[in-house]
Structure 1
Amino acid sequence: MPEGHTLFALARDLHEAFAGTTPEVTSPQGKFAEGAALLNGHDLLRATSRGKHLFVEFADDRWLHVHLGLIGSFTVDSHEWTAEVPAVGQVRLRLRTDQHIADLRGPTLCEVATPEKIDGVLARLGPDPLRPDSDPDAAWARISRSSRPIGELLMDQAVLAGIGNVYRSEVLFRHRLSPFTEGRLLRRASWRLIWDDLERLLPLGVATGRIVTVEEQVLEVEAALGRGGVPHLTERSSSVYRRAGMPCPACGSKVRTRVVAGRNLFWCGLCQRRR
């Protein structure tokens, strides 16, 4: 499932391509024809994200609300479109101007919503480390009262928006924290280490389009961005994610795995004993 950095970059691309325009909105697949008709002919004002949710605001209090789910994709292509462009695959929604086409395929959720419904969705989501208006104390208030393990809480979008299985496994390893520590037993300082690290890592995912968590690559990407360059990573590496049975890069013991919050959690049983 796309994690928060993917939706943040998508919202940025959609905003840059369509904000201030009146795109043609269609549903080549036909499943969203009624919703597309409600948006067609209305100015597109802005595109934003919160966690794994995408919000596109149109004039006259109309919002497009999208959740990509496990297999969804939303592509934005730039070109001089002068003729009809055939839809490739099952395109649920298409936005089109003379310069851009954006095609949505396979989302879990695609709906036209009122401002009140969007406010309700936002109220149910935890803070997003990519958004400057987010408050880490809002997440801490939930974590510090919970008997659930931190490895589960980090996946709860009502606690923290945008974090998925990869960031969950990797950030806990980076700070040598046991994923099975109950939230109420986690130190506040440990929580701030997690939050501050996510604030550091997620923008690197936005910049590269890849999840960057291994410190050597983190430093490489930060250096490239500091020089004004565009970092390019040929492959994604991880310390523990999807490395079950392989040696831990820090201590050499075998990386373990267990299903937590419906997904395979990966951790080092020797390194990650700190609670």
Structure 2
Amino acid sequence: MPEGHTLHRLARLHKRRYGGAPVEVSSPQGRFADEASILDGQVLKSAEAYGKHLFHDYGPQGIVHIHLGLYGTFTEAEQPVTDPVGQVRLRIVGRTHWTDLRGPTRCELLTRGEIDAIKARLGPDPLRRDAKPGLAFARISRSRTSLAALLMDQSVLAGVGNVYRAEVLFRHGIAPMVPGTALDEAVWKDIWADLVALMRDGVKKGRIDTVAPEHLPEVTGRAPRQDRHGGEVYVYRRAGQPCLVCGTPVAHKELAGRNLYWCPACQPA
């Protein structure tokens, strides 16, 4: 599932390419056809992301709420427009570019009040300037649930997924199964600042890089990471491989249906 930086990149891209001008909106698949007919020819006022949610604001006509889920993808292209390929839920055509959305978990036209209700259910997003990290700490510090699970709970912290979860815990030497009640507020502030920096870098680069300069392949002589997710990381999807810092095999377990990775030596229980 795409993490928060991907949705913020999409929001910036769509705002730049389609914002402020009328756009053609259609649903070649047909599942969004009624809503698309309302929006077709309207001006896209703005696009923004909150956590893993994307919002296209068409003013009085409503706001399109998109959640990509596990299988949703956008494909972007320059004009001219070509025939749809596959099950295209939503197509947007602007002056110079067009984009197709396939396979989202959510693609729905909502009112501003309904959008506000979605945002109210989410924790603070490290990529938003209006974020209040203290709200996340208040929930974490009252919970006996593991930090690994809490960091993935979108009602606690919005936008952080499996990669950022594993990597930020490693970078701060925290065992993933430590309960939220054991987290010191000063450490939380460091974690939050780190997430802000890492995720902003992800927005800029379009990939997740978490490895310090001294541990990069060109410095240590190791082979660059080969993975469809891209980016240089310490533990994510490196189960059984040596830790880049201490050489201990990276550990792995399943937690709440998701894969969890950590270094038992660098993140002692």
User: TM-score, structure 2 length as denominator?
Assistant: 0.91
Contact persistence 2:21–2:44 (CA under 8 A):
yes
1:267 corresponds, among 252, 262, 269, to 262
Distance (whole Å) between structure 2 residues aligned to residue 170 and residue 155 of structure 1: 12
- Could you tell me how far 1:248 is from its partner in structure 2? 1.3
- Root-mean-square deviation (CA), in Å? 1.8
Distance (whole Å) between structure 2 residues aligned to residue 13 and residue 167 of structure 1: 22
Contact persistence 1:26–1:95 (CA under 8 A):
yes
- 1:44 counterpart SS class: coil
Contact persistence 1:155–1:165 (CA under 8 A):
yes
| Seq. identity, % | 51
- Could you tell me how far 1:259 is from its partner in structure 2? 1.1
- In structure 1, runs of 5+ residues without a counterpart are 221-233
- Could you tell me how far 1:137 is from its partner in structure 2? 0.3
2:235 corresponds, among 237, 240, 248, to 240
Aligned positions of 1:167-206 closer than 5 A: 167-206=164-203
Given residue 260 of structure 1, which amino acid in structure 2 is its aligned partner? L
Listed one character per residue, the Cα deviations across residues 163-202 of structure 1 (whole Å, up to 9, x for unaligned) are 0001100110011111111101111111111101001101
Distance (whole Å) between structure 2 residues aligned to residue 219 and residue 240 of structure 1: 14
1:131 corresponds, among 128, 134, 151, to 128
Aligned to 2:12: 12
- 2:83 counterpart SS class: coil
Distance 1:97 1:212, change over 3 A: same
Aligned to 2:38: 38
Aligned to 1:143: 140
What count of residue pairs does the alignment treat as equivalent? 258
Contact persistence 2:216–2:232 (CA under 8 A):
no
Distance 1:126 1:219, change over 3 A: farther
Aligned to 1:231: none
Given residue 259 of structure 2, which amino acid in structure 1 is its aligned partner? N
Distance 1:176 1:132, change over 3 A: same
Aligned to 1:257: 252
Distance (whole Å) between structure 1 residues aligned to residue 59 and residue 133 of structure 2: 32
- Could you tell me how far 1:61 is from its partner in structure 2? 4.7
- 1:242 counterpart SS class: coil
Distance 1:219 1:207, change over 3 A: farther
